[in-house]
Amino acid sequence: MAFPATRMRRLRRTKALRELVRETSLSPAELIQPAFVVAGEGVREDVESMPGIERFSISELVAEATDVAAAGVGALLLFGVPSAKDESASGAYDDEGVVQMAVRALKGAHPDLTVITDVCLCEYTSHGHCGFVRDGEVDNDLTVELLAKTAISHAEAGADAVAPSDMMDGRVGTIRHQLDEEGHAGVPIISYSSKYASAFYGPFRDAAESTPGFGDRRSYQLDPANADEAVREAKLDLEEGADMLMVKPATPYLDVVRRVKDATRAPLAAYHVSGEYSMLKAAAANGWIDERAAVLETLTSIRRAGADAIVTYYAKEAAAWLR
Ligand code: PBG
- With a 6 Å cutoff on the Cβ, whether 122 touches ligand 1 is yes
Q: What is the pLDDT of residue 37?
A: 98
CA distance 93 to 18: 50
CA atoms within 13 A on the CB side of 271: 26
CB-based burial label for 256 (10 Å; 0-12, 13-18, 19+):
buried
CA distance 157 to 210: 24
Q: Which residues are catalytic?
A: 195, 248
- With a 6 Å cutoff on the Cβ, whether 165 touches ligand 1 is yes
**Entry pTM:** 0.97
CB 247 within 8 A of CB 270: yes
Total residues belonging to the chain: 323
Residues 36-41: contacts with CB within 8 Å, 24+ apart?
36/79, 36/80, 36/81, 36/207, 36/208, 37/61, 37/78, 37/79, 37/80, 37/81, 37/98, 37/99, 37/102, 38/81, 38/83, 38/98, 39/81, 39/82, 39/83, 39/98, 40/83
**191: Cβ contacts below 8 Å, ≥ 6 apart:** 163, 164, 172, 237, 242, 244, 245, 246
Which residue of 122, 246, 310, 313 sits with most ligand 1 atoms within 8 Å of its CB, as the best mutation to test the pocket?
Answer: 122
Q: What is the pLDDT of residue 1?
A: 82
Q: What is the pLDDT of residue 88?
A: 93
CA distance 315 to 317: 6
Q: What is the pLDDT of residue 208?
A: 87
| DSSP letter for each residue of 272-305 | E-HHHHHHHHHHHHTTSS-HHHHHHHHHHHHHHH
- Measure 203 CA to ligand 1 centroid, in angstroms: 9
Domains and CATH numbers, the chain: 26-322 (3.20.20.70)
- CA of 311, closest atom in ligand 1: 15
- Measure 204 CA to ligand 1 centroid, in angstroms: 6
- With a 6 Å cutoff on the Cβ, whether 130 touches ligand 1 is yes
- Measure 10 CA to ligand 1 centroid, in angstroms: 45
CB 29 within 8 A of CB 72: yes
Q: What is the pLDDT of residue 188?
A: 98
- With a 6 Å cutoff on the Cβ, whether 201 touches ligand 1 is yes
CA atoms within 13 A on the CB side of 183: 4
Pairing label, strands 309-312, 268-272: parallel
CA distances from 125 to 82, 121, 138, 192, 205 (A): 10, 6, 11, 20, 13
List the pLDDT tens digit at each of the 323 positions of the chain: 899 999 999 999 999 999 999 999 999 999 999 999 999 999 999 999 999 999 999 999 999 999 999 999 999 999 999 999 999 999 999 999 999 999 999 999 999 999 999 999 999 999 999 999 999 999 999 999 999 999 999 999 999 999 999 999 999 999 999 999 999 999 999 999 999 999 999 999 988 888 888 989 999 999 999 999 999 999 999 999 999 999 999 999 999 999 999 999 999 999 999 999 999 999 999 999 999 999 999 999 999 999 999 999 999 999 999 98
CA distances from 225 to 137, 198, 220, 281, 302 (A): 23, 11, 14, 27, 19
Identify the CA nearest to 188 among candidates 56, 102, 309. 309
Which residue of 99, 119, 165, 278 sits with most ligand 1 atoms within 8 Å of its CB, as the best mutation to test the pocket?
Answer: 165
